[in-house]
Structure 1
């Protein structure tokens, strides 16, 4: 019997940022791979900074060629950090990716994620627009995960988000303990379905956490550069969104922004349903 093939797609979260091992990153997907079966072939195609377009155009073709038995697609946060954010485009790309893997018979793993603004502790006027975008992505992921029968992890809420021991110095990526928590939760979901038959990953870190000085040094060098690369084209628009947030709050019309975002999500999902019906006809 050949080994189980597990392929992971996504961005820096799945690449393993925050869980350093040797000269690279390990992360939740690698930890999960060890607990799927006694024999596993694991390939991590995730790349830091990736958006849904990168997953659809680059990572998915490479993954399909590997004919995975299990595939994880955890993506979307970087889309919310771009001025080009479009929930219709995000929904269409995820729909295409999920459909491709399910058509090949792979078990699909998905997750909803916390919004970066709240994790960074940004002021409300800056945090709310990012939260609204991440909520839109999560709503789409929820809906499409149900449509395609994915094994879906609710990772956007819970006590683990408030536990600093779970997070790395940048407050955007889990530390080793956090990555282990994600791997454990995915393993539990897969074990219920008889898919994960190996031992569950340990919840306890294998390595000591970075010292405070090491964390501050990382933030001052690589961490700052990481954030800057992803926010360069967002910042002017984010300031505009923040100004609109303040105006609506002062005018008592903040609910309009939430309703507008909810309408955009509903419209994006409805467009996919119409396209699916047209294909079926």
Structure 2
């Protein structure tokens, strides 16, 4: 690889990397990793790209199900994003979760790949019910940063910017990025990887600014979110189900990238 010209990119992770929120299961999911692959392919049209991510997966499942398959593809670039689903579970163990992430960092860097990862934004900015887990997000981000430092992994810091809490950056479920949000994530990773033409424009606020909703509108928004997002999520937890049950990777083989 020279000057951002990668030949084989593999993305591992959960729903964000799969692309949930950017397209749908009927028309197909795009997502930030696809968008990053398209950018990489503009530098090297011979790029091969695989996306092994599956929604709903916990960090240990991503390690178990995706690590060996990704290594077998001999990538020179890998992105690893794992831990968000663990953050939402009652038995949150940051050291254990970060341990699985670090094991993937170690394996990919030992194999000679450039590895990139992301820190998690504070979802409580848009989900008031998530405020009790704010401390969890900070703990896990700190551990991911430390593990990345130990293995020379590149970190895109996607939190800490006001634009991240803009509702237009998020899918209506408030857990997954919107198409605009996925593009900003791809741009953040491109900057972290120092790809040609990348800069910090992804951190800039959206214009025009949204007006503050009134009390009644805020209440209506919360009720709607609870009905379409929170309710189904709670029901899956109570039934011991995952959104990733019986799903497989959307792009299990390293293939040429079709430019959109």
Structure 1 SS opposite 2:86: helix
The yes-or-no answer on 1:30 pairing with 2:34 is yes
- 8 Å Cα contact 2:187-2:198 kept in structure 1: no
Deviates more, 1:146-155 or 1:101-110: 146-155
Distance 1:30 1:88, change over 3 A: same
Q: Which has the higher helix share?
A: 1
- How far apart are residue 24 of structure 1 and its match? 2.2
Who is 1:243 aligned against? none
Deviation at 1:3, TM superposition (A): 7.0
For residues 16 and 198 of structure 1, the distance between their equivalents in structure 2, rounded to whole angstroms, comes to: 24
- Could you say which structure has the larger radius of gyration? 1
Report whether the alignment pairs 1:89 with 2:96. yes
For residue 105 of structure 2, the aligned residue among 83, 98, 111 is 98
State yes or no: 1:107 paired with 2:114.
yes
Aligned to 1:150: 153
**Cα distance in 1, alignment partners of residues 91 and 181 from structure 2:** 30
Correspondence for 2:126 among 110, 119, 124 = 119
Contact preservation (8 Å) 1:34, 1:198: no
- Report the Cα distance in structure 2 between the residues aligned to 1:163 and 1:11, rounded to whole angstroms: 22
Q: Structure 1 residues 143 and 41 mapped into 2: Cα distance closer, same or farther (>3 Å)?
A: same
Q: Does the CA contact (< 8 Å) of 1:8 and 1:71 recur in 2?
A: yes
| CA distance 1:70–1:225, shift in 2 (3 Å) | farther
- Whole-angstrom distance in 1 between the partners of 2:180 and 2:141: 23
2:80 to 68, 73, 81: 73
Query: In structure 2, what is the equivalent of residue 186 of structure 1?
Result: 189
30, 39, 50: which is aligned to 2:46? 39
**1:227 is matched with which residue?**
233
So what's the TM-score if we normalise by structure 1?
0.67
Over the aligned positions, Cα root-mean-square deviation in angstroms equals 2.9
Q: Classify 1:198/1:42 alpha carbon distance in 2 versus 1 (closer, same or farther; 3 Å).
A: farther
- Where has structure 1 moved over 2 Å in runs of 4 or more? 21-24, 115-119, 196-200, 216-221, 223-234
Partner SS for 1:7: strand
SS at match of 2:182: helix
Correspondent of 1:61 among 68, 87, 94: 68
- Relative distance call for 1:3 and 1:118 in structure 2 (3 A) is closer
Which of 156, 160, 163 is 2:163 aligned to? Answer: 160
Structure 1: runs of 5+ lacking an equivalent: 204-215, 235-281
Against the structure 1 CA distance between its residues 85 and 229, is the aligned structure 2 distance closer, same or farther, given a 3 Å change threshold?
farther
What TM-score, normalized by structure 2, do the two folds share? 0.72
Q: For the structure 1 residues 164 and 25, does the alpha-carbon distance in structure 2 shift closer, same or farther, using more than 3 Å as the test?
A: same
Number of residue-to-residue matches in the alignment: 212
Deviations 1:129-173 (A, max 9, x none): x11111111011111111111111001221222222211111111
Separation in structure 2 between the aligned mates of residue 70 and residue 219 of structure 1, nearest angstrom: 38
CA contact (8 A) 1:7 1:42 kept: yes
Higher relative contact order, structure no. (Cα contacts within 8 Å, ≥ 6 residues apart): 2
Structure 2 gap ranges (5+): 203-222, 241-260
